[in-house]
Amino acid sequence: MPPQRRSKPRSPEHAALGDAVRTLRSEAGLSQEQLAEGAGTDLTQVGGIERGIRNPSYTTLLRLAGALHTTVGKLTSLADELRAQA
Question: What CATH homologous superfamily does 12-85 map to?
Answer: lambda repressor-like DNA-binding domains (1.10.260.40)
Taking the domains of the chain in order of start, what are their residue ranges? 12-85
Q: What is the pLDDT of residue 7?
A: 79
Please check the confidence at residue 69 and state whether its pLDDT lies above 70: yes
Q: What is the pLDDT of residue 50?
A: 97
Tally Cβ neighbours within 10 Å of residue 73. 9
Q: What is the pLDDT of residue 3?
A: 59
pLDDT in tens, 2-49: 556 667 999 999 999 999 999 999 999 999 999 999 999 999 999 999
Q: What is the pLDDT of residue 72?
A: 97
pTM: 0.90
